[in-house]
Structure 1
Amino acid sequence: MIHAAVSMSALGLGLGLLLGLAARRFHVETPPIVDEIDGILPGTNCGACGYPGCRGLAEAMAEGSAPVTACPPGGRDVALQLAAIVVPDADPETALSGMAEAEPTVAFIFEDHCTGCMKCFKRCPTDAIIGANKQIHTVVVDACIGCDACIEVCPTEAIVKRVKPTTLRGWYWTKPQSAFDADSRENAA
């Protein structure tokens, strides 16, 4: 019994040292901009951008092959932060010129169509769906990022995308326009 424990410990120690040496020998440095971009992205790895997770999108943005508006769950705020990093010399608003001013969306489950198959529950990257096997599911609006992952896998098409409802926690006053801004826009036209 002691010989087996000693041999397994020696084997584990030897393989651990081998893996440690291999990690140091074959380590690949990533550019610091990739880490900075990855820190700004939501980190949910939902795949709504078309890349394999947020790290893949960060690498593509650092190379210049992905636009700063590629993250739908992040929205306009994340795109503005990314534009300041990826295109520091340009005006962030011009980098976002193609991005439509859209309201945030969330998933909504029609409970009378839900069969409780758990496919949406397993696919949600933020655990925004609550429910159990063969029971009706519902969405926690504050946790949903609107990535469409659950909509794609629902076999009964019980999940749709809706505009995120305004609550007291998320409501804010719109910025009023000054008379000077309105006059300058009329003169420019």
Structure 2
Amino acid sequence: MTKPLADILEDLLPQTQCTKCGYPACRPYAEAIAAGEADINQCPPGGIEGVRRLVSATGRTVIPINPVNGVERPRPVAVIDESLCIGCTLCIQACPVDAILGASKQMHTILPDLCTGCDLCVAPCPVDCIAMVPVTTTTGWDAWSQPEADAARARHDFRTARLARERLENDARLAAKAVQKMRDVTAETTNTPEELAEKERKRAIIAAALERARNKGTPT
């Protein structure tokens, strides 16, 4: 069975999940290349070697990295100034590969062996306590390896699945609370027109919330 082109292209990307290509992750970029909607020179972390790898699968011509997407550079690792960290968790939420440890109102720290150098944690930090520090003198794939790419991809996929599961679980909890609230409102005793009107108002609000929950995620 022939492997889909998008799968082949995804395997050739460095899996830093940095979004510099203009897509939210490496997989969407691979799909865009396969569909002819993106060029092969939009991945600075892969560098010119990454372009050559994509050429091998697409038959396109080697071209320089598009400066709009960034430049090929030594691989950096995020470093947190722990004396300034306020424990806001925004960097944790931004990290695509779960390379940051910490909790709300507690000091955070980077796991350097897991950091892909994506830069995504820098901008959200409200106290500018994160710096990107080069850890190699080589660039592109010479500063990275296939095992590191495979591990980063696995962590990204695990995180994506975990967040999706947590959203579903949260939606289920909210829906259950809404159902119970509807039961409570229905059971309320009404003696006056005003009380009846208020009861119907509450029922309408809860019914609308339940309908939104049922339609959540439904394609439009």
Q: Same fold (TM over 0.5)?
A: yes
Which structure 2 residue ranges, 5 or more long, are not aligned?
144-220
Question: Is 1:122 aligned to 2:122, yes or no?
Answer: no
**Identical positions, percent:** 40
Instruction: Find 1:72's aligned residue among 11, 24, 44.
Output: 44
Give the one of 98, 107, 111 matched to 2:78: 107
What amino acid is aligned across from residue 129 of structure 2 in structure 1?
Answer: A
- Give the structure 2 partner of residue 35 of structure 1: 7
Q: CA deviation at 1:125?
A: 1.0
141, 155, 163: which one aligns with 2:126? 155
| Whole-angstrom distance in 2 between the partners of 1:102 and 1:165 | 9
Alpha carbons 1:141, 1:164 under 8 Å: kept: no
Q: What letter matches 1:96 in structure 2?
A: P
The answer for the alignment partner of 2:152 in structure 1 is none
Match of 1:56 in 2: 28
AA paired with 2:22?
G
Report the Cα offset of residue 141 of structure 1.
Answer: 1.9
Alignment deviations for residues 136-157 of structure 1 (CA, whole Å, 9 cap, x no partner) = 2222222111212111211111
The Cα offsets for residues 17-52 of structure 1, whole Å up to 9 and x where unpaired, read as xxxxxxxxxxxxxx9222211222244644232213
Q: Which residue of 1 aligns with 2:206?
A: none
Could you say which residue in structure 1 is the equivalent of 2:180?
none
In structure 1, what is the Cα distance between the partners aligned to 2:15 and 2:65? 25
| Contact in 1 for aligned 2:87/2:106 (Cα 8 Å) | yes
Name the counterpart of 1:82: 54
Residue identity matched to 1:38: E
The equivalent residue for 1:136 is 107
Is 1:96–2:64 an aligned residue pair? yes
Q: TM-score, with normalisation over the residues of structure 2?
A: 0.51
Query: Measured at CA, do residues 116 and 77 of structure 1 come closer, stay the same or move farther in structure 2, by a change above 3 Å?
Result: farther
Give the SS at the match of 1:150.
coil
Structure 2: distance between partners of 1:156 and 1:97: 32
How many pairs are equivalent? 134
What's the CA shift string for 1:79-102, capped at 9, x where partnerless? 3311222235x4x4xx23667552
Q: Structure 1 unaligned segments of length 5 or more: list them.
A: 1-30, 172-189
1:141/1:61 CA distance change after superposition, 3 Å = same
> Which range is displaced more, 103-112 or 76-85?
76-85
Higher relative helix content:
2
Query: Tell me, what secondary structure is at the counterpart of 2:28?
Result: helix
> Does the 8 A contact of 2:47 with 2:65 survive in 1?
no
Change (3 A) 1:54 1:129: same
Q: Is the 8 A contact 1:48 1:149 kept in 2?
A: no
What value does the CA root-mean-square deviation take over the aligned residues? 2.8
Aligned residue in 1 for 2:198: none
